Structure 1
Amino acid sequence: MRKLLIITAAAITLTGCSTITETVRGPELAPVAYPATLVPVSQVYGREEAARPASANSLWRTGARTFFGDQRARRIGDILTVNINIDDRAQTQNSTNRTRSNETSGGISNFFGLENSLGRAFPGGFDPQNLVGVQGESTANGSGAINRSERVELTIAAVVTDVLSNGNMVIQGRQEVRTNRELRELTVAGIVRPEDITAANTINHTQIAEARISYGGRGDVSRMQATPAAQSLVERFSPF
């Protein structure tokens, strides 16, 4: 238990240091690495074959890509271009008006002869025929409207990280751009079919299954636009 507390305290300290450093120096770019952390998959990396000597009286090396061959991505580690063109609009309007009222009454004529004794207990008057009376009324009015418009037009290069048994490929891509003290990050991941990849080795985002597209950023501007943490907690858990 003590060891766990020490590890937790160390993690909190490192996180705090990272936040302080980012506040002072601005966001740092992530190191360039194989994008396997976007969508964890089981990957098998094969060893590269040694270069084979050219055959006698041949201008081409055995196993090299030919000029007229298919250059589309099809193996782990190949790169393809993803065209993201999102232009979505949604408009919804709902209105609810509900009213309900009810009334219930009940009495008792005989109850082991105790109905007369109850009359003495209530000097102000007691009527056994109107022993119980319940009335209720509820009214609810509600209205809501959604008017959303989104437009994102970007291009990103993705890497094939896995090839499924049916030939479909898992792709992942990440792009970071830093301008002054603001960092913009674009990530894309999903599953594509080889036949959907064009001859120019590109694919549209609408042809990606299980697509995960994220476009955001962090830095001074994003931090000023974000709601303070304390206010977010109050708004989320407030019962009123």
Structure 2
Amino acid sequence: MSKTAFIAPALLVSLIALGGCSSVRETVGGPQLTAMAYPAALVPQEQSVMYPAQNNTPASSNSLWRVGARTFFNDQRARQVGDILTVQVVIDDSAQTSDSTNRTRTNSFSAATPSVFGLESSLGKILPGGYNASKALGNDSTSTGAGSGSVKRSEKISVTIAAIVTGVLPNGNLIVQGTQEVKTNREVRVLSVAGIARPEDVSSTNTIKHTQLAEARISYGGRGDITNMQAPPAAQALMEKYSPF
């Protein structure tokens, strides 16, 4: 065996082992929360985290105002990259569809050839003994088909999440993204929301509904012991997906 042929399998085994380290660690110690980070924008552009400048100037004498502080009268709704707003996700959807199809078709065909250019007597000698010129061609066929299907779906989610404005489009629309993770024992529940919002749809309480997000992407799931038990084994999932039978 050549040296190259030996190195390739060894490298593949090493990569598999490294990729499985995190899974083994999570299986033994339970899932860990993802490190807090600035969310990525939906559009391909570089984003930089903006930190407000520190202002330690004391309030003026006999005044409620501090230099550089936000005023009581300015619009406090999210408008710029880095601003935070609240997204209310309230989903209560249900759908039901039922279809039924039945079809039947019967065909019958027959043809007689009592005279074929005066060769009918010769045809009787060439063709099998059962040849009958009055019933030279005949066909009967019947086909039936029946099908039915039904879909019944119901889902209900009611959560609230704080999201961040990660971009502002040229027309002023806001790109909003937010992720929330909650860990209970050995299960992590993850809620992710992303979409594009109009500034006019942000309420005076700096809140927006998920139905007002265009290109909304809402994910609510988790990882941990319960999720692992609900998922089928990897080999079984592959067989069900790619089995030709």
| Pairwise same-fold verdict (TM > 0.5) | yes
Out of 199, 202, 205, the residue aligned to residue 197 of structure 1 is: 202
Give the Cα separation in 1 of the matches to 2:23 and 2:118: 77
Give the Cα separation in 2 of the matches to 1:106 and 1:24: 79
Q: TM-score, normalised by structure 2?
A: 0.79
Give the Cα separation in 2 of the matches to 1:232 and 1:111: 67
Whether the 8 Å contact between 1:94 and 1:144 is mirrored in structure 2 is yes
Residue 178 of structure 1, CA deviation:
1.3
Match of 2:22 in 1: 18
Secondary structure (helix, strand or coil) at the match of 1:66 reads coil
Given the alignment of the two structures, is residue 136 of structure 1 paired with residue 141 of structure 2, yes or no? yes
Once the two structures are superposed, residues 167-208 of structure 1 have per-residue CA deviations (whole angstroms, 9 ceiling, x without a partner) of 000001111111111111100000001111111111111111
Letter in 2 for 1:15: G
Change (3 A) 1:144 1:180: same
Secondary structure (helix, strand or coil) at the match of 2:238 reads helix
Give the Cα separation in 2 of the matches to 1:7 and 1:76: 44
Letter in 2 for 1:217: G
Change (3 A) 1:218 1:121: farther
Out of 27, 37, 56, the residue aligned to residue 31 of structure 2 is: 27
Whether the 8 Å contact between 2:49 and 2:82 is mirrored in structure 1 is no
Match of 2:179 in 1: 174
Give the Cα separation in 1 of the matches to 2:190 and 2:25: 19
1:222-237 to structure 2, matched below 5 A, reads: 222-237=227-242
Given the alignment of the two structures, is residue 73 of structure 1 paired with residue 78 of structure 2, yes or no? yes
Change (3 A) 1:72 1:229: same
Whether the 8 Å contact between 1:85 and 1:154 is mirrored in structure 2 is yes
Between stretches 144-153 and 119-128, larger displacement belongs to 119-128
Give the Cα separation in 1 of the matches to 2:56 and 2:182: 42
Given the alignment of the two structures, is residue 146 of structure 1 paired with residue 151 of structure 2, yes or no? yes
Letter in 2 for 1:161: T
Letter in 1 for 2:36: V
Structure 1 gap ranges (5+): none
Match of 1:83 in 2: 88
In percent, how many aligned pairs have the same letter?
A: 53
Residue 95 of structure 1, CA deviation:
1.7
Match of 1:41 in 2: 44
Residue 148 of structure 1, CA deviation:
2.0
Between stretches 126-135 and 152-161, larger displacement belongs to 126-135
What is the RMSD computed on CA atoms of the aligned residues? 3.4
Between stretches 139-148 and 208-217, larger displacement belongs to 139-148
Change (3 A) 1:165 1:227: same
Once the two structures are superposed, residues 109-149 of structure 1 have per-residue CA deviations (whole angstroms, 9 ceiling, x without a partner) of 54895x76664454432235645444332222222222222
Give the Cα separation in 1 of the matches to 2:89 and 2:43: 22
Whether the 8 Å contact between 1:107 and 1:132 is mirrored in structure 2 is yes
Given the alignment of the two structures, is residue 61 of structure 1 paired with residue 64 of structure 2, yes or no? no
Give the Cα separation in 2 of the matches to 1:153 and 1:49: 33
Structure 2 gap ranges (5+): none
Q: TM-score, normalised by structure 1?
A: 0.80
Give the Cα separation in 2 of the matches to 1:61 and 1:111: 115
Whether the 8 Å contact between 1:53 and 1:61 is mirrored in structure 2 is no
Give the Cα separation in 1 of the matches to 2:132 and 2:19: 72
